[in-house]
């Protein structure tokens, strides 16, 4: 008996409806995460202030994609912090990228991964720390030099950009990303600060997709905003508070709570895109007196667009259980 079937058999009859909805949602998310992509997709995680959790969030999403995808996934650590994407993803401590001469002229997937360490999840890792020396953050030029020659051999390139000032180098980060994930604390001020940048990012000449991730770092709970005034096409995913994210050691998927795993799965699906095909959680019931959209003449939003996804109530212990990726007719990783 599968884990999902066992859970359904043990669930009280009163919860069966919600369990059925949850299973359907997770099945839809899994289909999105496995969906073929025509070209390599570049996802950039960026935060405006430190201590938000962009590194841990980017590492979890990158590792999830590496486990679910048939093709290779690359995680790039450009945060220049002691605990960036590479650390959170569990990259071997002795694994530092080689000199990169073979990668600079890559003609195959073997060339593209030469000297790169690989985590247990299957995620390949490129740490840009120390290049160039003397900078507090890795430059976009360094990212272009290191990643551009090999990006086509990976289905996804997930970059942890760390903290970036919107007045200086955020534009360069946007240029290097097909999809930008703005990570902010789940409180009103930080969330609105991130939401204010969404129009400028979407109007960038490269027209990147945008996703907002609100991470409950300080256990804000009910103080976290439920609705943000952003473009309805921009998903807003709420990641609940989880104390284990502050562990002194890298935390694997089995250590975080079920609600957190579901939230990360929703975030990963939103980032895979396109946004129109992204499964979303049911919108929470509107407060008494109707929502702001209801009061403005019935201009409702699409479910899950510009809205923090509701945290699940049921405890589904089989969240995206690892299943082997479906075989494909030919491997695209060596395609020039």
pLDDT category, 323, cuts 50, 70, 90?
A: very low
pLDDT category, 43, cuts 50, 70, 90?
A: very high
Q: What distance in Å separates the CA atoms of residue 234 and residue 115, rounded to the nearest whole number? A: 37
pLDDT category, 320, cuts 50, 70, 90?
A: low
Residues 6 or more apart whose CB falls under 8 angstroms from that of 85 comprise 45, 55, 58, 59, 62, 75, 76, 77, 79, 125, 158, 159, 160
Place of tokens 């075989």: 327
pLDDT category, 224, cuts 50, 70, 90?
A: low
pLDDT category, 21, cuts 50, 70, 90?
A: confident
Q: What is the pLDDT of residues 96-122, one digit of tens each?
A: 566 688 999 999 999 999 999 999 999
Q: For the chain, which residues make up each domain, given as ranges?
A: 3-284+301-317
pLDDT of residue 75: 97
pLDDT category, 136, cuts 50, 70, 90?
A: low
Q: How much is the average pLDDT of 122-142?
A: 74
DSSP structure string for 228-247? --S-TTSBEEEEPP-GGGG-
Query: Using the 8-state DSSP alphabet, how is residue 144 labeled?
Result: H
Asked if 42 and 159 count as a contact pair (C-beta separation under 8 A), the reply is yes
Q: What is the pLDDT of residues 260-290, one digit of tens each?
A: 999 999 999 999 986 444 444 444 444 444 4
Q: How much is the average pLDDT of 233-255?
A: 84
More confident residue, 61 or 130: 61
Q: What distance in Å separates the CA atoms of residue 95 and residue 114, rounded to the nearest whole number? A: 12
Q: How much is the average pLDDT of 133-141?
A: 66
More confident residue, 241 or 227: 241
Percentage of the chain beyond pLDDT 90 is: 39
- CATH level 3 topology of 3-284+301-317: Rossmann fold (3.40.50)
pLDDT at 149 over 90: yes
What pTM value is reported for the model?
A: 0.75
Query: Using the 8-state DSSP alphabet, how is residue 326 labeled?
Result: P
Least confident of 35-49, 204-218, 301-315: 301-315
Q: What is the pLDDT of residues 172-201, one digit of tens each?
A: 889 999 999 999 999 888 999 999 999 999
pLDDT category, 68, cuts 50, 70, 90?
A: very high
Q: Write down the mean pLDDT value for the chain.
A: 76
pLDDT of residue 111: 94
More confident residue, 92 or 207: 207
Least confident of 135-139, 223-227, 272-276, 317-321: 317-321
């Amino acid at each position: 008996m599968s884990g999902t079937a066992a859970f359904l058999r043990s669930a009280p009859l009163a919860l069966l409806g919600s369990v059925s909805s949850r299973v359907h949602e997770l099945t839809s998310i899994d289909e999105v995460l496995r969906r073929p992509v025509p070209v390599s997709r570049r996802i950039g995680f960026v935060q405006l202030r430190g201590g938000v959790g962009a590194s841990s969030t980017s590492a979890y999403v990158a590792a999830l994609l590496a486990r679910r995808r048939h093709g290779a996934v690359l995680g790039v650590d450009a945060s220049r912090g002691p605990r960036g994407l590479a650390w959170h993803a569990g990259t071997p401590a002795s694994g530092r990228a080689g000199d990169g001469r073979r990668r600079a002229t890559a003609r195959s997937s073997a060339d593209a991964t030469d000297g790169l360490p690989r985590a247990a999840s299957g995620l390949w890792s490129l740490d840009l720390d120390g290049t160039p020396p003397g900078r507090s953050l890795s430059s976009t030029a360094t990212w272009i030099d290191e990643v551009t020659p090999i990006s086509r051999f990976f289905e996804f390139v997930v970059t942890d950009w760390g903290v970036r000032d919107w007045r200086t180098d955020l534009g360069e980060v946007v240029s290097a990303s097909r999809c930008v994930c703005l990570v902010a604390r789940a409180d009103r001020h930080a969330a609105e600060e991130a939401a204010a940048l969404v129009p400028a990012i979407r109007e960038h000449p490269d027209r990147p997709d945008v996703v907002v991730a609100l991470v409950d770092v300080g256990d804000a709970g009910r103080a976290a905003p439920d609705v943000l005034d952003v473009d309805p096409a921009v998903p807003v995913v709420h990641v609940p508070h989880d104390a284990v994210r502050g562990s002194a050691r890298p935390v694997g998927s089995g250590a975080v709570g079920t609600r957190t795993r579901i939230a990360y799965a929703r975030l990963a699906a939103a980032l895979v895109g396109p946004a129109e095909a992204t499964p979303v959680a049911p919108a929470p019931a509107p407060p008494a007196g109707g929502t702001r959209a209801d009061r403005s003449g019935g201009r409702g939003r699409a479910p899950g667009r510009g809205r923090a996804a509701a945290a699940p109530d049921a405890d589904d212990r089989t969240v995206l259980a690892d299943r082997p990726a479906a075989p494909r007719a030919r491997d695209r990783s060596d395609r020039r």
